[in-house]
Amino acid sequence: MTQYMYTQHSKSPKKFGVASRFPARSPFKSAVGGSSRKPAHSNRVGGFNSSRPRFNNRKSSGGGGSRGARIDFSRFIKKAVHLEEKPYINKHTFIDFPFNEQLHKNIAKAGYVFPRPIQDQSIPTILEGRDVFGMANTGTGKTAAFLLPLIEKIAKTKGQNKRETVLIMAPTRELALQIDDEFKKLAFGFGMFSAPCVGGLPIMKQIREIKMGVSFVIGTPGRLRDLIEKKVLDLSTCHSVVLDEADRMLDMGFQDDMIFILGKTANEKQTLFFSATLSTEIKKLTEQYLKNPAFISVVSGETAKNIEQDVIRYRGPDERLEKLHEVLKKDGSDKVLIFRERKHHVDELEKDLKRAGLKAGAIHGDKRSRERIRILDSFKRDQINILIATDVAARGLDIPDVTHVINFDVPQTYETYVHRIGRTGRSGKPGTALTFVPA
């Protein structure tokens, strides 16, 4: 079983693991300042910076590093370690949580018995009404950690004839739609409705859904802002806000949109931030928007111990492609996710692999949302076994049973590398991460 290093939340932020990374001064004082980076593309939703990275084999001056930082290629080499580790000991089962009877039925139908560590620690705190900053590795069950207590909260307010809205912001269309799918399963039978508000899908349908009345608004910052500016989306009754993968939203240049949207919500609200990292910008947002939060950290190191990490050295484009074909045809390469930096390179590689008779698909920010959803669904259902993507697929998506992650282009930062390879080795299963580097 996977060993989770975790810290219990506390009323004082100095008492848990991440607190030492906050300034020694009063932790909730300063506000967000300065201008944010704009997304690289005109479409604010799902756009990605595809500028050409510059790398050599020198060491980076820091851990994650800024975009374009030099990464020591030796950091991409790490043997998988299979240890007899002490398992995480749950304090609760799902039956222990004081949920509505219908919600317990939905949980049982979903097959949930023992909460994941982030769920075990977050759910009781969210039910208390406290703000939460949850830091956990990718694929650790963050979505249910906030959906379940918020569904319970709205079910109670509906019984009191109160009109409240939950706002959930996510960095990408795929993640927002994935959250919406999970919501529909867990909220079955409650008469609650959601509006998935993402770019690339018809805005008029989203407008109709909002006007009909919804309890949950789940979307990406760009489309949410568009709907607010069109005076369609009124968040004055929004007393619950979730920022999922908050660090990724900042990295994609959505800071201005996020601040604008948060400013339209009710003054008195419960705010939940979930993030895989704790950057300076995230700390500033936390200081401004969270009130006496519980900090919950559930981490298991930079990269999972069960992921075999190695590099493949090549001389020239022909050898590079030849070695990729060799990897893809090996036994055990059952479900492979390949990352490229540029969108047109994603499309070129897809064509090459299809010509070689391989079942491959591709997604990136320029593809229409319906096409991206269709291809991603084909990959999840094993109708294709190779998915080529830009970093649109690096964070937040729940893609089960990925055996290999291949960085066909070296990632721009080590932090990006960590998030990419987090698509494999999930739930304690073995995984392989390979990075192609010039010889």
CA gap 212, 432 in Å, rounded: 47
**152 shares a domain with 220:** yes
Q: Are 182 and 151 in contact (CB under 8 A)?
A: no
**330 shares a domain with 265:** no
Q: Is residue 45 part of a domain?
A: no
**130 shares a domain with 275:** yes
**101 shares a domain with 248:** yes
Q: What is the pLDDT of residue 29?
A: 35
Q: Is the dihedral of CA 333, 335, 341, 344 positive or negative?
A: positive
Average pLDDT, the chain: 81
Domain boundary among 299, 314, 348: 299
**153 shares a domain with 117:** yes
**333 shares a domain with 289:** no
Q: What is the pLDDT of residue 264?
A: 97
**220 shares a domain with 102:** yes
Q: What is the pLDDT of residue 13?
A: 39
CA gap 192, 21 in Å, rounded: 39
Q: Is residue 278 part of a domain?
A: yes
**Three-class SS state of 9:** coil
Whether residue 244 is predicted with pLDDT greater than 90 in this model: the reply is: yes
The CATH number given to whatever domain includes residue 343 is 3.40.50.300
Sequence-ordered list of residues with C-beta below 8 angstroms from that of 65, at least 6 positions apart, any chain: 71, 413, 414, 415
**How is residue 252 written in tokens?**
């994609």
Q: Is residue 360 part of a domain?
A: yes
Q: What is the pLDDT of residue 304?
A: 67
Domain boundary among 299, 329, 347: 299
What is the total count of domains within the chain?
2
Q: Is residue 155 part of a domain?
A: yes
Q: Is residue 200 part of a domain?
A: yes
Identify the helix (H) or strand (E) that includes residue 6: strand 5-7
State the pLDDT confidence band at 235, using cuts at 50, 70 and 90: very high
**78 shares a domain with 192:** no
**394 shares a domain with 245:** no
270 phi and psi, to 5 degrees?
-100, 125
Q: What is the pLDDT of residue 137?
A: 67
List, for residues 190-225, the tens digit of each pLDDT value.
999 999 999 888 999 999 999 999 999 999 999 999
Range of the domain at 374: 73-82+305-438
pTM over 0.75: no
Whether residue 324 is predicted with pLDDT greater than 80 in this model: the reply is: yes
Domain boundary among 248, 270, 299: 299
**266 shares a domain with 127:** yes
**391 shares a domain with 242:** no
Whether residue 309 is predicted with pLDDT greater than 50 in this model: the reply is: yes
Alpha-carbon separation of residue 373 from 201, 312, 388 (angstroms): 11, 31, 14
Of the two residues 92 and 74, the one the predictor is more confident about is 92
Contacts 24+ apart (CB under 8 A), 299-303: 299/4, 299/5, 299/6, 299/17, 299/135, 299/136, 299/137, 300/2, 300/3, 300/4, 300/5, 300/137, 301/5, 302/418, 303/78, 303/418, 303/421, 303/422, 303/433
State the pLDDT confidence band at 174, using cuts at 50, 70 and 90: confident
Q: Which of 91-105, 182-196, 319-333, 388-402 has the lowest mean pLDDT?
A: 388-402
Q: Is residue 67 part of a domain?
A: no
Whether residue 128 is predicted with pLDDT greater than 70 in this model: the reply is: yes
Q: Is residue 113 part of a domain?
A: yes
State the pLDDT confidence band at 57, using cuts at 50, 70 and 90: very low
Q: Which of 112-121, 218-227, 329-338, 385-394 has the lowest mean pLDDT?
A: 385-394
Q: What is the pLDDT of residue 280?
A: 81
**399 shares a domain with 314:** yes
Q: Is residue 4 part of a domain?
A: no
